[in-house]
């Protein structure tokens, strides 16, 4: 950043006591910086400058950048858990539920590319991934995996078992989302068509009709 840009950024900072600094504003700015520069490259000063406040003001909300990364991760995982629970509560057929959860996962990732990359793609120091976050990640996956195991228990899988199929389905959809996010310049087909072909192929290949 040039001296002129730094001066402009500092002059744009919010005056002390000028309104309430929303945590969401910090989290959104941090997401962008974590994705662009990685955990090591992101600093409290960079995040504060992006928001337009002093580092001291930012520390009033988060003790360090690890706490910011943790809150972003937990927020993302909680949203996915809620969506999966809504689907399983409404849909009785596990095959339909699995397809809906995978589609929801893919579309959510494409709608929130920064959060998705941060939680599912970017490397993270072990110290920023607490037991609580690990538990949320496990809960999110287990809701989906249980539905796949229900398909297996009903004798409807063509290949593998409940766990291997659940992991293969998840990994395959993750690959599609990740490539769409990181390679926007590629001549992809229509996203809706790509999502539907992916899900039809995966579910049709794994589940007997």
Question: Does the domain at residues 3-62 carry the CATH identifier 1.10.10.60?
Answer: yes
How many Å apart are CA 142 and CA 25, to the nearest integer? 31
Of residues 202 and 122, more confidence is placed in: 202
pLDDT in tens, 132-178: 778 888 899 999 999 999 999 999 999 999 999 999 999 999 999 99
pLDDT in tens, 60-97: 888 888 888 888 888 888 999 999 999 999 999 999 99
Q: At the topology level of CATH, where does 70-206 sit?
A: Tetracycline Repressor; domain 2 (1.10.357)
Report helix angle 162-182 to 131-153, nearest 10: 120
Q: Where in the chain is the domain with CATH 1.10.10.60?
A: 3-62
- Residue 85, pLDDT score: 95
Nearest to 5 by CA among 50, 64, 55: 50
Q: Where in the chain is the domain with CATH 1.10.357.10?
A: 70-206
- Residue 126, pLDDT score: 67
φ, ψ (nearest 5 deg) of residue 123: -65, 150
């Amino acid at each position: 950043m040039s001296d002129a840009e730094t001066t402009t950024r500092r002059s744009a900072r919010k005056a002390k006591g000028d309104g309430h600094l929303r945590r969401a504003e910090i989290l959104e700015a941090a997401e962008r910086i974590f994705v662009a520069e990685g955990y090591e490259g992101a600093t409290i000063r960079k995040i504060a400058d992006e928001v337009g406040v002093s580092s001291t003001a930012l520390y009033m909300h988060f003790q360090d950048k690890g706490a910011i990364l943790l809150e972003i991760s937990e927020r993302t995982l909680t949203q996915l858990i809620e969506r999966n629970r809504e689907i399983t509560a409404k849909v009785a057929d596990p095959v339909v539920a699995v397809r809906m959860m995978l589609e929801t996962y893919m579309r959510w990732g494409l709608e929130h590319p920064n959060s998705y990359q941060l939680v599912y793609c970017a490397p993270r120091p072990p110290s920023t991934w607490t037991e609580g976050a690990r538990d949320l990640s496990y809960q999110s996956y287990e809701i989906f995996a249980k539905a796949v195991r229900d398909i297996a228990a009903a004798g409807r899988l063509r290949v593998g078992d409940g766990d291997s199929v659940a992991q293969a389905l998840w990994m395959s959809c993750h690959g599609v989302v990740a490539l769409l996010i990181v390679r926007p310049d590629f001549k992809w087909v229509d996203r809706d068509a790509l999502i539907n072909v992916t899900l039809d192929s995966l579910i049709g290949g794994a589940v007997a009709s």
